[in-house]
Structure 1
């Protein structure tokens, strides 16, 4: 079962450069949350702060009732055992087979016999669809397979929290779709708390329970997926609809009058959004991605499927 992460008043700077300030949110236990934001807004820094690799200037991160910003190294090491992390490139050792890469955390952090390690590694490889590729080297497989191997390695210690740092980077749209389905299936199977940092708008619309958006050194919004997808907040609408009109510019700063003019022109050309209300998010609320056929659906996922069926009776994503 996943654990809740409660972030209060978190701020981080490097020298005089403020990355973000006064970030507060709660990642619900067992749910999938996504953190969005333009490049350079500190999304990866946020992940590293959650796992204790970076220390914030102010604020707290409560995990299982313990504030990791105030823990000594030994106690922090214990809390980190709750985490699994999938890095952008999979972070695999190039000279090791996939089997040995995935077995590495078990050999490094446990005293399990090799027979038990083999059982766990093959179980996780099966979960991510890599059985039969045990002896392959990372350089011999596709980017999508490397991501799945990295995910299998993140799973071997049975973490209660899994952090995904841009899992879709470097993948084509088809592989991203497969990876998204895998993430949803895994969440239904292991019930851990997932946090995904991504730029992929389609993933953000389909995969999570909750969405957050970092912009201009602050957390603009964080809340249930449906709330963000139907939001009137200009920067949220702009980012989730991938358009130029709005507060986000190439250099991330636009003149206030320019923003106001762009948004007025946009609203004039699109008076009523597909949600039925003026200014509603342009693309509406996308159907939720559900676990694959054959994947058991715990009560939480059964409730999501029922809600999606009522909201989108003819267009629920393939279960």
Structure 2
């Protein structure tokens, strides 16, 4: 099962460059969380702070009563065993086949026999749909298969917290859809707490239980997905609609002159797209963490965008 991750007042800078300030949020145990934000806003830096690879300037990260930001190296070594991490490029060893890549954490951190290692490795390879590819080298397979192999390796120690750094980068929409379904199925099967950094809007709209948005050196919003997907904040509307117009610029935020020019020209952001139904596990049953569609909006008196929470009609169903 997953564990709760509680972040309080986290601030990080590199030299005189502030990355973000006073980030506070809680990743509920066993839920899928997504972190959005324009490029360069420090989403990957946030992941590295959670796992203790980078130390924040201020703030706390509490996991099972331990503060990752201030604990000893010995305690941090133990805490890291709770994590599984999928890096952007899979980070596989190019000279090892997929089997040995997945087996590496078991051989490095446990004293299991090779027969037990083989049982666990083949179980994880099967979970991510790579049966029969275990003898291939990373250079002999597609980018999507490398991502799944990296995911199998991240799962091999049965982590309670899964960090996925842009798992969909470099994948076409079809492979991204398969990967999203795999993540939902793994979440249901393992009960781990997931945090996914992504730029893919469809992933953010259908996969998570909770969504956050990093922007302008702070956490603009974090909470149940319906909260963000129904938000009228200009930065949210611009990001979800993938529009040039709004507070986000090419570098990061636009200056006052640019925003004034857009306002003078009468430029308006389009309305928010409908909130889709949440992606369910492959077995068709609701997730253990799933909230009834529209519950958050109804509780807080928020009118969701028109057409929200309607089933998707496929081409096959229409014919």
State TM-score, norm by structure 1.
Answer: 0.90
Match for residue 275 of structure 2 among 274, 280, 285: 285
Match of 1:112 in 2: 112
Q: Determine the C-alpha separation between the residues in 1 that align with 2:140 and 2:247.
A: 43
Q: Determine the C-alpha separation between the residues in 2 that align with 1:253 and 1:150.
A: 34
Q: Deviations over 1:257-303 (max 9, x none)?
A: 54256368344x85xx4xxxxxxxx2121221111137x655434x5
Is the CA contact 2:60–2:68 (under 8 Å) kept in the aligned structure 1? Answer: yes
Alignment of 1:169 with 2:162, yes or no, is no
Is the CA contact 2:89–2:147 (under 8 Å) kept in the aligned structure 1? Answer: yes
Deviation at 1:69, TM superposition (A): 0.8
Match of 1:279 in 2: none
Match of 1:136 in 2: 136
Is the CA contact 2:277–2:310 (under 8 Å) kept in the aligned structure 1? Answer: no
Alignment of 1:79 with 2:61, yes or no, is no
Alignment of 1:30 with 2:30, yes or no, is yes
Q: Determine the C-alpha separation between the residues in 1 that align with 2:48 and 2:313.
A: 35
Q: Deviations over 1:56-99 (max 9, x none)?
A: 00000001111111111010000000000000111101111100
Q: Determine the C-alpha separation between the residues in 1 that align with 2:263 and 2:181.
A: 35
SS at match of 2:289: helix
Deviation at 1:53, TM superposition (A): 0.3
Alignment of 1:222 with 2:211, yes or no, is no
Deviation at 1:304, TM superposition (A): 5.1
Structure 2's unaligned 5+ residue stretches are 297-307, 315-319
Q: Determine the C-alpha separation between the residues in 2 that align with 1:305 and 1:228.
A: 14
Is the CA contact 1:188–1:297 (under 8 Å) kept in the aligned structure 2? Answer: no
Deviation at 1:170, TM superposition (A): 1.1
Match of 2:309 in 1: 312
Q: Determine the C-alpha separation between the residues in 1 that align with 2:253 and 2:32.
A: 31
SS at match of 1:211: strand
Q: Determine the C-alpha separation between the residues in 2 that align with 1:8 and 1:286.
A: 31
Match of 1:262 in 2: 262
Equivalences for residues 118-267 of structure 1 within 5 A = 118-256=118-256, 258-259=258-259, 262=262, 265-267=266-268
- Cα distance 1:97–1:37, how it changes in 2: closer, same or farther (>3 A)? same
Alignment of 1:300 with 2:289, yes or no, is yes
- Cα distance 1:216–1:305, how it changes in 2: closer, same or farther (>3 A)? closer
Q: Quote the RMSD (CA, aligned, Å).
A: 2.3
Is the CA contact 2:280–2:286 (under 8 Å) kept in the aligned structure 1? Answer: no
Q: Which shifted more, 252-261 or 109-118?
A: 252-261
Is the CA contact 1:287–1:316 (under 8 Å) kept in the aligned structure 2? Answer: no
Deviation at 1:2, TM superposition (A): 0.5
Q: Determine the C-alpha separation between the residues in 2 that align with 1:155 and 1:112.
A: 16
Match of 2:299 in 1: none
Alignment of 1:102 with 2:102, yes or no, is yes
Deviant stretches of 4+, over 6 Å: 305-308
Q: Determine the C-alpha separation between the residues in 2 that align with 1:233 and 1:298.
A: 29
Match of 2:302 in 1: none
